[in-house]
Structure 1
Amino acid sequence: MPLVKATIKAGIKSAFTEVMNQKEGREDALDKLADKIAATVVAAIKSAQITYTAGLVAPAMGGPVTGTFQCTIS
């Protein structure tokens, strides 16, 4: 699944809206907001797709892989 800015924006906006509407204290509100933003960012990072294109070479007789990892991230 590709990273979508609109999805991240919607998650952060939802977090702010929820906190603005609550009646709890300031620290509780900030903790809840920070937790929801962190969850949105983690979900976005986990949805990133890395597609290997070229660049790595494995020796025929074994040993470490060499080269430069070439990829696209979406």
Structure 2
Amino acid sequence: MALVKETIKAEVKQAFVQVMDDTEGREASIDRVAESLAEAMVNAIQSITITYVGGLSAPTGAVTGTFQCTIK
């Protein structure tokens, strides 16, 4: 799955919409928004795809080289 800005934006927007009419108080609202934003970030990070391109070798045991990849 690719990292999609619109998906992150939608989750962040939803986090704020959920507390717009909150009557629980300021701290509870801040905690709920923070929790939702953290969840959006975790979801975004977990949706990243890293594709190994090359650059590593282990001719005599230890892996050496530079990890070359693409990130989507």
Q: TM-score range by the shorter chain?
A: over 0.9
Distance 2:55 2:28 in 1: 49
Instruction: Tell me which stretches of 4 or more aligned residues in structure 1 moved more than 2 Å.
Output: none
Counterpart for residue 50 of structure 1? 50
Paired amino acid for 2:10: A
Distance 1:5 1:64 in 2: 38
Shift in Å, 1:21: 2.0
Counterpart for residue 23 of structure 2? 23
- TM-score, length of structure 1 as denominator length: 0.93
- TM-score, length of structure 2 as denominator length: 0.96
Paired-residue identity, %: 57
Matches for 1:1-74 after TM superposition, within 5 Å: 1-59=1-59, 61=60, 63-74=61-72
Q: What's the secondary structure of 1:56's corresponding residue?
A: strand
The count of corresponding residues between Structure 1 and Structure 2 is 72
Q: Unpaired runs of 5+ in structure 2?
A: none
Q: What's the secondary structure of 1:14's corresponding residue?
A: helix
Shift in Å, 1:58: 1.4
Task: Tell me how large the CA RMSD over aligned residues is.
Answer: 0.8
Paired amino acid for 1:25: G
Distance 1:57 1:21 in 2: 57
Output one character per residue of 1:4-51: Cα deviation in whole Å (capped at 9) or x when no partner: 000000000000000112111000000000000000000100010000
